[in-house]
A and B are shown apart, each in its own frame.
Chain A
Amino acid sequence: MAEFLLSISAPAWLAYSVAALIQCALLLAVALGSAAISIWLERKVSARIQDRLGPTRVGGRFGWLQPPADGLKLLCKEDIIPAAADGPLFRLAPYISFCTAFCVFLALPFANNWVALRLNVGVFFILAVSGLEVFGVILGGYASGSKWSLYGAMREAAQVVSYEVPMALCVVVPVLIVGSMDLVEIGNHQAGWFWHWHVFHDPFTFATFWIYMTCAVASTNRAPFDLAEAESELVAGFLTEYSGFRWVVFFMAEYPAMFLVSGLASVLFLGGWNGPIPIASLLHLTPAVHPLAGWIGNLLGMCNFIAKGVLGITCMIWLRWTLPRLRIDQVMTTCLKYCVPLASAMLAGVMLWMYLLPGGVWTQAEQLWSPSTVNAATAVRREQAPGPPRPAEKQAHHEPEPMDVVWTR
């Protein structure tokens, strides 16, 4: 985008500002859109689980417009700040949560190279920034001036900070396999049929995926780990004193965070934008054929990616409406006694695997059964896999050309 503007001789400051604004608008649309869709999905799925219909009136038969209607209603509510609250902090807290939830989308690739900000440390950036979200909750709970809110905040602090450890250990596993922290590269590494996905790479990664999902649910404060809200114990936890728009903003942070952890799971373990069947490459929808073909292929990839993200969200919704809530000590036990040692063991296992059998189960099998018919992509992967992580500059020439100027820097 910026390059395009520069090419039509726009001044540099204008080109980069306009490009940044457009990308921000697109991302905000994605973040809010994912929130709206998740809320609608949550209401419908929970309704079906509970033998209800869910929203049916607003926006036609399926209640499509329910989330905006909810938002509108909440916007119209009275703005209440409790007398005991710390006003400025109370006001600030929801925006901290929302900004961090939104910022992580910067580094999340939606398809091959369709990412607002391609970072060679994308994984690190996402973990670091999404870890900041906890500040909003702690601040909100502390500033509310309510004992229940304080409980919620303290629980959040204990829980989310603890779960970041096993989650980071799980995230390191695909990084180890690919040898890069660049999410685009991690996604492209899983190109091809679904058995190239990291979740099927070897038994250790398969286990890692489930540990990651457990930690992901816990880190987004979803049931059965929703201790910070825990409506039957803490009234509404850190949200007790929040109402109206500020409450909405907290939810605008929660739902994108769900999409984010599902999306991250999809990129790290489930092939990202690579579908179970490599339709794009089978149909020769690659930029090598024609730039437009590559663009269509990427569009397909984005659909894949979003489908996986929505699937992840659906599973989280399913869990939430099925399981009772764990107790705080059980949550901490799950993390520190089970998730951390298991994740560490899996990390060590993957290291060993990569040392002994580079390339994963299926690559080994393919090589064993028909060494002559190994396709080029696999061969490339086998060359890359055992090697040490290369700097991003060196790998640049391996990558396909940027598909779409809008999404690249």
Chain B
Amino acid sequence: MPINQVQPEAVEFDVHTDEMLINMGPQHPSTHGVLRLVLRTDGEVVTEVTPHIGYLHRCAEKIGEHLSPRQFLPYTDRLDYLSAMNMNLGWSLTVEKLLGLKVSEKTRHLRVIMAELGRIASHLVAAGCYGLDLGSFTPFTWTFRDREKILNLFEAACGARLTCSYITVGGVTADLPPGWLSQCEQFLTEFAPVVDELHAVLTSNAVFVRRTAGVGVLPAATAIDYGCTGPVLRGCGVAWDLRRDGDPFYTEMYDGYQFEVIAQTEGRYPQDHPYPPVPAAACLGDSWHRFYVRMLEVVESMELVRQAMAKYAAAAGEVDKPIPLKKKLPQGEVYLETEAPKGQMGFMVKSDGSPIPSRVRIRSSSFCNLSVASELCRGVLVADVPAIIGSLDLVLGEIDR
């Protein structure tokens, strides 16, 4: 399906030179890991982009067929390693659905806190690295500074910063330590003004807008055809968020929470927020919108964390302990998708009755989001390739699995 590229500048180049094939990656500063893109270029104009993946393939799915679900949990940390909490959650929920297990209220709210903090952390990396892709170094250091604070919170909760394995099958590994909620509250208070600063140096920065608005325009139909999800889909104006629209087994985790799906529908974004208006040059589905959706979701997630902390503090009882390591799984097959920061993260578990699943499959959001890259990068300039790839917010850990 041809995409109508809004690229008035790119069209001006009608001088043709020899075609050149260039490898962008797997060692390249802006391919976010070990993605390899083969660019076919005509001068500065890119005529074709072919992604090559597999440099980080670690047989995660196959390993899942040799370990019990709780033993596999640390491997899910390494799928989308920037939001390990959300990966843990997706896997745990899938196995719990197979087991028919319901966690306690307190555990549910604790999981929401962790999942939304994970979302903030992931979006912060996405925003910072996107600035880096566009040549702006400073926001990167700011976002990583605040991500560190989230990682400190994770460390206080479970001892690990990046590969948490905290949310686990049946519950969480341990309850929060005393004083954790006030630390989290302090983080949210400190972080709120930083969002405005990020809007100032990125979202509403004139150069940033010039580099992203109208670049890599993805029509909603194409996004759906390619299976794009998460902020990439919502950036096209499709209000689809599994926290609201997903499997009931997942959405009931968010029962009683007030939140809106961040997507521009009917010409406006849902919240009445004090954030920068959409620039005139931006059109729905471009890189700017994808970035903006993430920035708004950060604020949304902060609000969700606040709600969850109140509910967690009010909930009675204990948090649930994990299931036994080698608990027998019932026969059957379950597929569950959750709303990870980068899109829909799906796990499939099939069991023949033993403690070890007979089949594990993973549907990763970045993989589908990457598949649209070759459509988006047709006829753009070389400098637009990092701008488009960066706006898709890819993590190779979950693409290659």
Contacts and interface: CB of A to CB of B under 8 A. Distances in A.
A328 B142 contact: no
Given A51-B145, A147-B22, A328 B29 contact: no
B138 A322 contact: yes
Contacts of B131: 324
Contact of A233 (B20, B207, B385): B385
A407 interface: no
B382 A233 contact: yes
A404 B67 CA distance: 84
Nearest to B17: A154
B281 to A, nearest CB: 12
B135 A325 contact: yes
Contact of B142 (A50, A148, A235, A323): A50
Main secondary structure of the interface of A (DSSP, over half): loop
Interface in B201-253: 201-202, 205, 207-208, 210-211
Interface residues of B, number: 34
Contacts of A46: 137-138
B10 interface: yes
Contact of B29 (A224, A231, A321, A325): A231
A329 B9 contact: yes
Interface in A110-158: 147-148, 151
Interface size class of A (residues with CB under 8 A): 20 to 34
A405 to B, nearest CB: 47
A52 B201 CA distance: 17
B44 A324 contact: no
B135 A147 contact: no
A238 B386 CA distance: 18
Nearest to B390: A232
B384 interface: yes
Contacts of A333: 9
A49 interface: yes
A322 B135 CA distance: 10
B347 to A, nearest CB: 33
Contact of B134 (A51, A232, A235): A232
Contacts of A325: 134-136, 207, 211, 383
Contact of A327 (B142, B145, B205, B211): B211
Interface in B164-219: 201-202, 205, 207-208, 210-211
Interface in B1-39: 9-10, 12-13, 20, 22, 28-30
Interface string A306-335: 000000000000000111111111100100
B298 to A, nearest CB: 18
A241 interface: no
B141 interface: yes
Given A327-B384, A330-B210, A50 B141 contact: yes
Nearest to A49: B138
A329 B136 contact: no
A232 B138 contact: no
A357 B145 CA distance: 56
A327 B138 CA distance: 19
A230 interface: yes
A226 B9 CA distance: 20
Contacts of A321: 137-138
Nearest to B200: A322
Interface string A49-65: 11110000000000000
A324 B142 contact: no
B201 A327 contact: no
Nearest to A236: B29
A51 B142 contact: yes
A137 B134 CA distance: 23
Contact of A235 (B13, B28, B141): B28
A224 B135 contact: yes
Given A151-B382, A323-B136, A325-B134, 17 more contacts: A50-B138, A50-B142, A147-B22, A148-B22, A233-B30, A235-B29, A321-B137, A323-B135, A324-B134, A325-B136, A326-B211, A327-B9, A328-B381, A328-B383, A329-B9, A329-B13, A330-B211
5 contacts: A51-B141, A230-B135, A233-B386, A326-B210, A330-B210
A-B CB proximity, top 3 nearest: A325-B135, A50-B141, A324-B136
